[in-house]
Amino acid sequence: MVLDELLQMLVERRASDLHLKVGRPPLLRIAGKIVPTELERLTPDDTKNLIYPIMNTYQIQKFEENWEIDFSYGLQELARFRVNIFFQRGVVGAVLRMIPYNIPTLDELGLPAILKDLSLKGQGLILVTGPTGCGKSTTLAAMINHVNANRECHIITIEDPIEFVYRDNRSEINQRELGSDTKSFSEALRHILRQDPDVILLGEMRDIETISTAVTAAETGHLVFSTLHTNDATQSVDRIIDSFPSHQQQQIRMQLSLSLQGIISQKLVRRADGKGRSSAVEVLINSPTIKKMIEEGNTSQIHKAIESSVTYYRMQTLNQALVKLVEGKVITLEEALRSTNNPDELKLNLKGIYSGSSLDRGVSQYYET
């Protein structure tokens, strides 16, 4: 068994991830579900023999010192893969996620048109948030490539690891990978503003130093993209502010209210036709109302502000996005209810829209549970 053959299988079966675990056959994630292959169960030697050949000497040393490692691996003319190798119960395990060579456009991803406008802002902070595996990296790549196709500017990315590989179009793009091109996020960030960037992509805002640098860069004339592992826009704002000690929170509220351009919070939902998954996207735009709420610490009111700003600012809550997908028969009612952060609100929204219909009876059934 050779790893490249397993990755070929992943691509052919339209899977997103390959899982290697001792005692199980290789597993694929297809349309969000873990599916075992028909291959033999893996032994400890099998997993080690599959994984070690794709690591160089430095990576093997780092893995055996730290017991886990992230890096990227390319299969020529097929795809790139984000690789995470780890120990579990004393033996080697791994998860490899496919990253297409061709970066999809925002239109191909079915994302709201407002994301094109956000991508072309001259400065400010744009966050793409959501749980692990929700497509944040793909959305960010599509936004960066939209900049690349439309602006003459200098884009610098700091990633761990590099996932999508960009080709210069109208922009110059320099991609820096943690461990290969820079020793740490903080080290890279310390020097990034001296490298004449117009646009900065930070793979993740992990700590106070990263957040501070991102916000400062956004305040000083740069367009900054980054990600957070949060479920919605309100939680994202709170996460940033709560990362700071209490005596600094008023300052970061003020900075964030002035620098934030928008927050895109997304989830992947299973399509009703069984053809993979689609994105359900919450969009926050930093309108004067939102700006004031952030500045004054009234973040609990942000959700209502988004909900009431659909027409003029083209914002939408996750539930409003889910309602559109149910209306368009892209997803089922059950999938919408499984994916929402606020099921009671979603049930009321759907019940009002489909009053008197057969779907209303379906909603009523769920509303009573």
- Taking only the tens place, the pLDDT of each residue in 332-345 is 999 999 999 999 99
Preceding omega of 245 cis (within 30 degrees of 0): no
Backbone φ and ψ of 214, nearest 5°: -60, -45
pLDDT value of position 68: 95
Q: Please write the tens of the pLDDT for every residue from 38-65.
A: 999 999 999 999 999 999 998 999 999 9
Options 3.30.310.50, 3.40.1160.10, 3.40.50.300, 3.40.50.2300; CATH for 114-331 is: 3.40.50.300
Mean pLDDT, rounded, of the chain: 93
Burial class of residue 294 in the structure, from the number of CB atoms within 10 Å of its CB (0-12 exposed, 13-18 middle, 19+ buried): buried
Let me know if the fold of 3-99 is the same as that of 114-331: no
Q: Which CATH architecture has domain 3-99?
A: 2-Layer Sandwich (3.30)
Instruction: At 315, list the tokens.
Output: 């914002």
The domain spans of the chain are: 3-99, 114-331, 334-367
Q: Where residue 312 falls among pLDDT bands split at 50, 70, 90?
A: very high
pLDDT value at residue 354: 59
User: pLDDT (tens digit, 9 = 90+) per residue, 152-195?
Assistant: 999 999 998 898 999 999 999 999 998 889 888 878 888 999 99
Work out the number of other CB atoms within 10 angstroms of the CB of residue 341.
18
